[in-house]
Structure 1
Amino acid sequence: MEQKTVLIINGKDTRYDYVAKGDLNTFLSDTAAGYLKDKGFDVLTTSVADGYEVRDEENKWKQADFILFQFPIYWFAAPAVLKRYIEDVYNYGTFYSSAPEYGRGGLFKGKRYTVSTTWNAPKEVFGNGDSFFNGRSVDDVLSAFHDTQDFVGLTKLPSISFHDVIKNPDAPAYEDQMKKHLDTIFDR
């Protein structure tokens, strides 16, 4: 069987280091990288807060069969540092081109992605019509992020999210959940 490559993008942001330093997102990125390497995948990584070169990132994306985005949620979206990465790296001619129909010029068709997010929001506020999110799921709240990936041609795999991570962190449980998630979506 052909060797598969996963690109893990750690979108941690240290802007709010007085509350969260990005350690959990790094832990989850590292957990995924180690686990997937043990399963025989080639693993490429980027930690956007540590800096990156656009051409290097383009090459990683071209090599990758799967992309795993790991990031915290700030104000109901990806952190600014990850948004900046997307704006820097998702360039015309490499990630997308013109197409007869708007949004159908993605050049990464055939590549799949998953999103792993950390939230201070508790899990029970999602999918509950009486809660803050009015019944929306995590993926509903992140629809603009998913639209961006669709625009460049990626196919969405199931997402995973970790909740109440500031008040009630449970890294050992998260590690186990991440491994089970990876087994489900990357089952070869």
Structure 2
Amino acid sequence: MSEQTVLIINGRDMRYGSAKGALNTFLADTAASHLKEEGFTVETTRVADGYEIAEEARKWQQADVVLFQFPIYWFAAPAVLKRYIEEVYQHDTFYSSAPEYGRGGLLHGKRYLVSTTWNAPKDVFADPSSFFNGRSVDDVLADFHFTQAFVGLTRLPSISFHDVIKHPDAAAYAEQLKTHLNKALNI
């Protein structure tokens, strides 16, 4: 049995007509169930449902690992997740002043991983002749990763699901996510 705590941040945003957050909620719930079965303590936050900053700070302090589950809107995290980060990542709790910019993170020893859903097909990544000019998903999400590094988190391998509007396969995604978590967390 693991004695680790995983905080799952569901960054779904329900404002868009073609995507109401059901897939990301399904994946966040799948991760929570799987990790509980594996003996992890699991905390969750559905950002769009609201949150209390002090309660979030408590969850973060308890967490060993944070899983961010979110859809990609305009090549980035949705606004609701960005707002969460801006409100919750507070000075003296998540970061402090440091002699060198970006080195004042207070969450050292904690790890995070990203699970994202994209309307973009997988084959447009890592192909130099495609839209992303050979960039990977993590390259496109560099700003998100820099934010986590700023507060001292250590990145674990990301997972992404593609073409989710035209060709969704939630059952396959769920199995892929469980396999990915097993590998990333040494289950």
For the residues of structure 2 that align with 1:2 and 1:106, how far apart are their CA atoms? 26
Q: Give the TM-score of the pair, scaled to structure 1.
A: 0.98
Partner of 2:11: 11
Cα-to-partner distance string for 1:33-80 (whole Å, 9 max, x where unaligned):
000000000000000000000000000000000000000000000000
Q: Give the TM-score of the pair, scaled to structure 2.
A: 0.99
Partner of 2:51: 52
Whether the 8 Å contact between 2:2 and 2:38 is mirrored in structure 1 is no
Whether the 8 Å contact between 2:117 and 2:164 is mirrored in structure 1 is yes
Cα-to-partner distance string for 1:5-53 (whole Å, 9 max, x where unaligned):
000000000110x201100000000000000000000000000000000
Whether the 8 Å contact between 2:2 and 2:39 is mirrored in structure 1 is no
**1:157 counterpart letter in structure 2:** L
Partner of 2:100: 101
For the residues of structure 1 that align with 2:68 and 2:163, how far apart are their CA atoms? 19
Partner of 2:123: 124
For the residues of structure 2 that align with 1:110 and 1:2, how far apart are their CA atoms? 17
What RMSD over aligned residues (CA atoms) do the two structures have, in Å?
0.8
Partner of 1:167: 166
Note the C-alpha offset of 1:2. 6.0
**1:95 counterpart letter in structure 2:** F
Residues 121/98 of structure 1: CA separation in 2 closer, same or farther (3 Å cut): same
Number of residue-to-residue matches in the alignment: 187
Partner of 2:150: 151
Cα-to-partner distance string for 1:63-102 (whole Å, 9 max, x where unaligned):
0000000000000000000000000000000000011110
Partner of 1:83: 82
For the residues of structure 2 that align with 1:48 and 1:105, how far apart are their CA atoms? 25
- Structure 2: state its 5+ residue gaps: none
